[in-house]
A and B are shown apart, each in its own frame.
Chain A
Amino acid sequence: MIKHLLKLVWNRKRGNLLVTLEIFVCFLVLFATVVMIGYYADNYRRPLGYEYEDVWSISTSISTVVDLDRDNGELMRKYAAAFHAALKNMPEIESVAVIRQAPYSFSWTGRTIEYNGKKLSTTSNEASDELAQVLSLKLVRGRWFSPADDGLAWDPAVINQKLAAELFGSEDPLGKDISEKGDAARTGSSTPARRGMRVVGVISDFRKDGELSAPETYLFSRTTPGRSKGLYFLIKIRPGTPRTFEETVLRRLHAINPSWDFEVDPLTRVMQTKLGYQIAPMAAAVIVVSFLMVMVALGLIGVVWQSVSRRTREIGLRRACGAPAGSIHLQVLGELLVICSVGLGLGTLLVIQLPLLDLVGFLTTEMYIYSLITSLALIYGLTLGCGIYPSRLATRIQPVDALRWE
């Protein structure tokens, strides 16, 4: 049966070539889209590592911070500490933390750390003792920073599970000393080489860039208000505090220093904005691709329809010789399936090269296979769907129509 179908397809290879080509290209486009959606969906279902409900961020303008930082670190320290104390005393605020890069902010820092001769580049951040409370960080092991860390000879560090696994493998990360490579001159500031770091805790994760970001290794070091270069305050407000509280906060801060510029934003709002920017281009791509698929589907219906009506004689003859409607269905759809499989086979061969050549390192093998299966299923479904109506038309062909030609 299959051999026979192959023969039928082969006999009309020139006409079928174009359809095969179309399915091949269609598969590639669809696969790319499915991989993209799969990648982000996979990220989305991973835990964020923190909660940002009722958390607001307060930032100063970059120009203020940069000027102050280069100008007079002393002044900056003084003000930061004063702001921190003022915020802490407001009854509507549950807790206040300082962080160098707030969730959803656009800046990024990285460090290269070393343990036992093993070097690793990781994303890093600095935060104060209260961050665990403000963002409800999920500690897996050990502890977060505390005032007790003040007098230590080493810097405490908190890492995420991914970093713990990559750097220490199955070893217990707690209490391990890590050092840093080639950092001293990077910022251009004159800070002396850092002291050694010791891991004091492991958090489940901290995906600063939000739900769609890829999982990455993360390292927190400790800061206190005014010590860090960036100046982000994160405040956890009591549930039910109205948005107008924003103005109260600003008045309070401007009472300390009227010339600084602050921006107060609920993290939920920052998150929505950022998510919007990330999703918009993807949504556009998905819309375009779905229209392309509709177009291909319509085109296929047209082609199959035409080929059925051109083969009236052949089909009519089969009917006259007693072939049931089912076998006509089988023939039309079977031929289509063969053509489709050839196109998809070529496509799969091509697509499998990518992980083999290690060009898609950001995807897990699992994700890749799922995407492949989904795309194959979608294209088969699409092709079969397009074949059903024309093939029903084919079963209605009367033997008389066909015999008229003979």
Chain B
Amino acid sequence: MLKNYLKIAFKVFLRRKFYTFISLFGIALTLIVLVVAVSLWDHVFGPHPPETRPDRVLTVYFIRATGPAGNNTSGPAGYAFLDRYVRTLTSPERISVHGIFLPTVSYRNGAKIKSWVKNVDAEFWRIFQFSFLEGGPFTAEDDRNGNRVAVINETTRRRFFGGAGAVGQVIELDRQSYRVVGVVSDTPMLRLTTFADAWTPINSRKSQQFKREFENGMFFSTILAKSAADLPKIREEFAGMLTRVEFPDPKQFNRIEGQPKTLLEAASDELTGGYLRTVVMIAIVLFMCLPTINLININVSRIRERASEIGLRKAFGASSWTLVGQFVIENVLLTLIGGLLAFAGSQLILRMINASGWVPYAQLTLNPRIFLYGLALAVFFGLFSGVYPAWKMSRLHPVEALRGGEQ
């Protein structure tokens, strides 16, 4: 039965090449755009190494300090505040304090190399699971003693050393020499929490001035909860802690607002005031509207020309549901073919984006999860655009249908 349907479907596709082409074009185009969008989203927010446990990790990104005169400042917190008040929270499993990434320029054999350096503590390596290509992370002792050691990423290794075997070599960053202890694979630049070209111990900074910064600084703090269920407890403890902060200069600032957030929450609050998901969903629905309507339109007009076939089948006793089933299967088959084309197309486009350097360090790939989303979308598409026209046609009166459809 199914085999028969498929056979008919293929014959129909080939008979009306123009319509088949339009349908495939629309389906493939829509899916390509969606798949590329989903993989960009996944690139920024999905669970990828080193951020493999997004459900248990919260980060204090920006805080807002207010003074008695109503003056305020917001931005990354200062080291002193994070060290004294966030590191001492008791409910989390681990807590790391790490700097925002800052640019530095090095010269090697006359060539200019621009790298982003991030100062981190030793806990950073235990919260985030970097995949080390060689060597390993630096230790708490390295950080305490301010040892000039660095973990670099694959790109930096290639730029400075050409290839493997960087561990033990010396790299110059910010006009200081660092000994490379580990090499990790690249992390995308849009991952604000973990990205850097080189990670160095906080205490290896040239000046230790940053230790006095309180409400206004250049540090984030990342908290690893014991389990995802612990997150509310941690947020609560954090909020409680904020009320007990003793300010170094209460005349300047005497109140801090802020909370540990997931990257998605932080991005959502910063960009759209908390509605990122909603905004994205509305955009996607609007965007999908057009191809869906287009597909329904084509299907409606296409299916009419098969009125005589429908009439014949009805005359021989086929029920409306059987006919709907047949047309829906045909349509789903078409969308699946479109889906296949889309995957080939999006593979190509993702590769182009990777090669263009438009998204720095992007290694956008079509992972199985995205493939499944896309497939589900394709089937939904097929059902959605196929059911209405099929149902309309299946209710034709056989006599009229045999004559070639109503006018």
Contact = CB atoms under 8 A, between A and B. Distances in A.
Partners in one complex: yes
Interface of A: 15, 18-19, 21-22, 25-26, 28-29, 61-64, 66-68, 70-71, 182, 184-188, 246-247, 250, 258-263, 276-277, 280, 288, 291-292, 294-296, 298-299, 302-303, 306-307, 309-311, 313-314
29 contacts: A18-B293, A22-B297, A25-B289, A63-B117, A66-B210, A66-B218, A67-B205, A67-B207, A70-B209, A70-B210, A70-B212, A70-B213, A182-B69, A182-B71, A185-B67, A185-B73, A188-B252, A188-B253, A247-B110, A259-B175, A260-B175, A261-B174, A295-B291, A296-B294, A299-B294, A299-B298, A306-B301, A309-B305, A310-B304
Given A22-B294, A26-B290, A292 B174 contact: no
Nearest to A185: B71
B105 A262 contact: yes
Given A25-B289, A302-B22, A295 B297 contact: no
Interface in B209-239: 209-210, 212-213, 215-216, 218
B146 interface: no
A258 B22 CA distance: 65
B18 to A, nearest CB: 7
B174 A61 contact: yes
A-side interface mostly: helix
B26 interface: yes
A163 B213 CA distance: 35
Contacts of A259: 175-176, 206
A303 B215 contact: no
A296 B103 contact: no
Given A61-B103, A70-B209, A261-B104, A298 B22 contact: yes
B210 A18 contact: no
Nearest to A24: B293
B26 A299 contact: yes
Contacts of B160: none
Contacts of A302: 18-19, 22, 297-298, 301-302
A306 B114 contact: no
Contacts of B25: 294-295, 298
Given A182-B71, A288-B33, 20 more contacts: A18-B297, A25-B286, A25-B289, A62-B102, A63-B206, A64-B206, A184-B71, A186-B71, A188-B73, A188-B215, A259-B175, A262-B105, A280-B356, A292-B29, A292-B291, A295-B22, A295-B294, A299-B26, A306-B302, A310-B407
A288 B346 CA distance: 13
B73 A61 contact: no
Contacts of A29: 286-287, 290
B297 A263 contact: no
B197 to A, nearest CB: 13
Contacts, number: 140
A309 B305 CA distance: 9
Nearest to A29: B290
A188 B72 CA distance: 9
Given A67-B206, A67-B209, A299 B297 contact: yes
A12 to B, nearest CB: 9
Nearest to A279: B358
A30 to B, nearest CB: 10
B190 interface: no
B405 interface: yes
Interface string B253-296: 10000000000000000000000000000000011011101111
B51 to A, nearest CB: 24
Nearest to B213: A70
Contacts of A70: 209-210, 212-213
Contact of B107 (A186, A250, A306): A250
Contacts of A28: 286
Contacts of A262: 105
Nearest to B251: A185
A188 B405 CA distance: 78
Contacts of A280: 356, 358
A292 B290 contact: yes
A288 B283 CA distance: 14
Interface in B111-145: 112, 114, 117
A367 to B, nearest CB: 22
Given A70-B209, A313-B407, A61 B105 contact: yes
Contact of B70 (A15, A182, A250): A182
Interface string B85-114: 000000000000000001111010010101
Nearest to A62: B102
A303 B298 contact: yes
B95 to A, nearest CB: 23
Contacts of A311: 407
Given A22-B294, A291-B29, A295-B29, A63 B71 contact: no
B9 interface: no
Contacts of A250: 107
Nearest to B19: A302
A247 B105 CA distance: 13
B80 interface: no
Contacts of B213: 70
Contacts of B102: 61-63
Nearest to B176: A259
Contacts of A313: 407
Contacts of B105: 61, 261-263
B300 interface: yes
